[in-house]
Structure 1
Amino acid sequence: MNKKYFFYSCCLALALASCSDDDNTPGNEPSATHDDYSYVGKAVGNFTAEEWYPGGELGTTDNIASNSYEDETPAVTNQGLSNLFKFGESFFERTFNSTTKPFNGLGPAWTRDACLTCHPGYGHGKRVTSYNANEYGNGYLLVVYHPDTQGYITEVTGMPQTRASYPFLPPIDESGIHLEWKTATDGALPTTFPDGETYELIYPEITIDQEAFNTNPKPTNYEVRLESTIGIYGTGLIDAIPEEELKKQYQTEASAGATLNPAMWDATANDWASTAWYTGYPANATDRTPHIKRYTYALTRATLQDGPGANAIWNITNVTRSDRPKLYTTDAWAKAMSENEEVINTILKEGKDEESLLHPYYADGTREGIAKAVATLLSPNTNQFDNDVYNFKPEMQDDNYYELMVWHRGLAVPRARNLHSEQVQRGKELFYQMGCTACHRPSWKTGSDNYWADTVVKGQGELPKYANQTIWPYSDFIQHRLFMKNDIRGAWCRTTPLWGRGLSKANTGAEDRLHDCRARNEVEAIMWHGYSRESDAFRSAEKFYNLPKEDRDAVVAFIRAI
């Protein structure tokens, strides 16, 4: 245990001495009493000693306070990477802008100006009632797609942008985004438990006016869904799970009769589908070895070093770097801006000043020249670094990106809490009996962790490593279908890890769950699993529904403890 957290735990124990050791009922966060701490690291009840450390010896922090999602792993400390970790943390927490180094390069269109806005307290995004990109905690990404093909529309980026630099208009005007929360009343199970306690299921309905798209052309035949960010702690440990172990899990579930996403698993060959392999590395990557996808709800990324976080620091803020030399924009937006009279007039008036940020768009000072420059420089198909006219430089330096990745791969998982509680032990027993572990697989063993690294990282140094660790994420990292109202695009959704989620309220101020934060607590999350009889988890949810309240509370206490 880290000594600084031992002192904290002892102080907190004195403050909470009058509290019950089993104060783990729904609505309360687990407490760190002295008695609780005395059990840490020891086998107790139906928990093994190692289950206290979900991230293993190298990936767990003893901190269970309101900043526990932010800690570095022991691996970071052991490898002498702590200073790099702290520098990398600043790029996650700071707001990006147009000019102030090293946090410059925001825009010209962006989704958020700071990572922390999407990941409050480093955790899962929170549910909001109206769409405002700059509202702290709003981790939503707009998913705009064609209902016939399920593919993203091409008029805006896959992670649509609602903010833009002056004088440009955002690709989507937020005033045209309409979000309404509705109550689901037609589920397969009643919203009153047999003992009389009730619950409610809500879901988001979101639309975007066609006129809100500042693109040419404007999209047609589209639908919109929401997807929220997930907690980012412990993601480096997921990267260390061997691909052969992932394959065994797919084979186990397939042999048990589970229907798996054919885009990931070829049922006939009992092997990976051709589309399960990720090959979309940056153009300058020297190592383009295919790897199996394991990250994001849609399983779009395979390695953390080219995963959602590495990608997001580029496309969310639109900050270029040496391995991401092009802007994250669309030609439809670039064309619309090149045709906008107010944009042209502003550049014509202000861009002649060589010190102006608009000067690159001024070109030859003619309206035609400005329009061409805008269309060219806002296009995703222009290499901003090698443009014949303008010699732009990467906005994020390689050493800063490396520091970010040390931080990203170095985030620890908080240790488990209250495993000595009889209520938590009962909850574990029920969780297993209900069949929840079929998808929420409890533990994995990491391999040698010879991680893939892109050209930039290889040129800078090593990253935290997690070789031969037993970890407890409670996920199979496979996609399943729950058939919920206004379901996720494509219906398939990767099982979200449960580790550390019991500390969400303390760290983020919210405890919303599922891909779009529709579940406001654990009970609603479980019951959404039973909304449809077609759901892959219906039987487990049905068993939970039929439990007495005391046992339902025990299941929730267990989920909060791990």
Structure 2
Amino acid sequence: MRRRRYLLGIPVGAIAIAAVWASTHRLPRPLELGALPATTEPGEELSGGRGSVPDPGRNAFGRAPMNMPRTRWEDFHAGKRVFGRDWTDVDGPIQVGPLFNAPSCMTCHVKDGRGQPPASPSETPISLAFQLSGPDGRGPHPIYGAQLDVRHVDGTGAEGSVEVTHEEVTGRFASGETYVLHRPRYRFTQLSKGPLGEETRFSPRVAPANFGLGLLEAIPEAAVLAHEDSEDRDQNGISGRANRVRDAATGQTRMGRFGWKANQPTLHQQVAHALVTDMGLTTELYPREQGREAGEAAPPEVSPKELDALLIYARLVAVPKRRDWEAADVLRGKAVFGAIGCAGCHVGTVFETEDVPGFPELSGQHIRPYTDLLLHDMGEGLADDRPDGLATGTEWRTPPLWGVGLVKAVNGHTRFLHDGRARDLEEAVLWHGGEAAPAQERYTRLPLADRQALLAFLNSL
């Protein structure tokens, strides 16, 4: 059982009350909810520790940490140039592809931010990729490989395209207002190698934000595993567990941290895998392109020096500082967030990062990412029916919430969840099922003022 004196600034007594609400699925009377404390905590506005960036504008996600010395600027910006490089526009032979989904990291992670699904069925997906598996869900598709490539270089053809449509799902809040959700539907078209097959499993995954990754990697594994409760011993309906995946560099099994299903154990592997899968660019870690496992490996298309520069950048991109964290409605929303059960997975724990050799900016930081980095069953509504490591087809890693309130300012949209189906943060909450179903139900039964307060809290992150 987790033992903390405070969670999200709420005394454990209030959390105990919330656990009772979870077991009964009843919403407390307004007077009881109104009695919940709403206080600030020292340093809570610095979500990414001392490196947090006080920039609420369009460049909030692509900044160097505030605690980075000027002597590191050259290294940081060298990595940023690799991140923004268009690999179809290089001297000599074209290196990207020949099949790929994006010509640069920045194409999907625009301004280091979050991707979105196509705006219309006729638009080719840009920052929404489709991972593929055969009938058993394990291993790549026998014909199309691990991911459908929707772009190609001259002289070749794309593997296919995807039309994204939606159907409406309606509901009603207890206070009388109605809501409409969009459930995505996908149709694969123009397939160059024939049909995928009726039993093919696929997983649509939108590009996540690109900041704070070095801090997440620096959270001690023991601190993550302290939140594991796979058997739900505390009987709160939440049974998070770590994914266990193969480290491509060592061949050993390690805890997964990165990706929508925590299927990558290190930032090195996360970046190198994205290069080869999304862009067709080989590295020393992945020396062969997708679908070309046979034959002798050629020299890597992304040199070790370029990959090192990219990794320095990926580790150091800073987390934005919170806004309005002392406002009355934000504090109210913070209390509601904890009381209805959101903090069961999006934990308010202050993690202290371990020492990271060569990166004092990341070492010993007190951070609040609002994630436990664990897998949770999110129900059939969000299921992709595709296992990934230990993750089942209904399990997803808890995504960090830091920075969610700045997505519109940076990326010009408010699309959330693994496939971008949610058009705003409220829709993201309403799609929660499985272990999060009780919290979702309590949200729908909140008075309008408390729902608005909770959203104000999320937008302050």
TM-score normalised by structure 1 residue count: 0.69
- Deviation at residue 181 of structure 1 after TM alignment: 0.9
2:228 is the alignment partner of 1:250: yes
2:410 is the alignment partner of 1:507: yes
- SS of the equivalent of 2:183 reads strand
Equivalent in the alignment of 2:331: 425
- SS of the equivalent of 1:61 reads coil
Paired residue for 1:60, among 31, 52, 58?
52
**Percentage identity across paired residues of the two chains:** 25
Which residue type is aligned with residue 280 of structure 1?
Answer: D
- Deviation at residue 52 of structure 1 after TM alignment: 0.8
Equivalent in the alignment of 2:192: 214
- SS of the equivalent of 2:43 reads helix
Give runs of aligned pairs for residues 70-149 of structure 1, distance below 5 A.
70-75=62-67, 77-78=68-69, 80-97=71-88, 99-100=90-91, 105-130=95-120, 138-146=126-134, 148-149=136-137
2:351 is the alignment partner of 1:476: no
Paired residue for 2:264, among 281, 290, 301?
301
Equivalent in the alignment of 1:526: 429
Distance in 1 (CA, whole Å) between partners of 2:169 and 2:403 is 29
Equivalent in the alignment of 2:16: none
Equivalent in the alignment of 1:310: 272
Paired residue for 1:202, among 156, 162, 182?
182
Distance in 1 (CA, whole Å) between partners of 2:122 and 2:209 is 20
Give runs of aligned pairs for residues 354-433 of structure 1, distance below 5 A.
379-385=292-298, 393-433=299-339
Equivalent in the alignment of 1:456: none
2:126 is the alignment partner of 1:164: no
- Deviation at residue 162 of structure 1 after TM alignment: 1.6
Distance in 1 (CA, whole Å) between partners of 2:196 and 2:440 is 42
Q: 1:224 to 1:252 in 2, by over 3 A?
A: closer
- Deviation at residue 404 of structure 1 after TM alignment: 0.6
2:441 is the alignment partner of 1:542: yes
Instruction: Tell me how many residue pairs correspond in the alignment.
Output: 417
Distance in 2 (CA, whole Å) between partners of 1:537 and 1:420 is 27
Contact 1:111-1:133 within 8 A present in 2 as well = no
List gaps (5 residues or longer) in structure 2.
1-36, 386-392
Equivalent in the alignment of 1:278: 245
- Deviation at residue 81 of structure 1 after TM alignment: 2.0
Contact 1:124-1:229 within 8 A present in 2 as well = yes
- SS of the equivalent of 1:560 reads helix
Contact 2:342-2:439 within 8 A present in 1 as well = yes
Distance in 1 (CA, whole Å) between partners of 2:303 and 2:203 is 34
2:209 is the alignment partner of 1:236: no
| Structure holding more strand per residue | 2
Runs of 4+ with >6 A deviation = 131-135
| Structure holding more helix per residue | 1
Distance in 1 (CA, whole Å) between partners of 2:146 and 2:228 is 28
Distance in 1 (CA, whole Å) between partners of 2:90 and 2:73 is 28
- Deviation at residue 521 of structure 1 after TM alignment: 1.0
Which residue type is aligned with residue 200 of structure 1?
Answer: V
Q: 1:431 to 1:252 in 2, by over 3 A?
A: farther
Distance in 1 (CA, whole Å) between partners of 2:98 and 2:123 is 15
Q: Deviations over 1:51-108 (max 9, x none)?
A: 0100011x31112211110001135x2383211111111122232116427x951111
- Deviation at residue 424 of structure 1 after TM alignment: 0.4
Contact 1:475-1:495 within 8 A present in 2 as well = yes
- Deviation at residue 429 of structure 1 after TM alignment: 0.8
Structure with max Cα Rg: 1
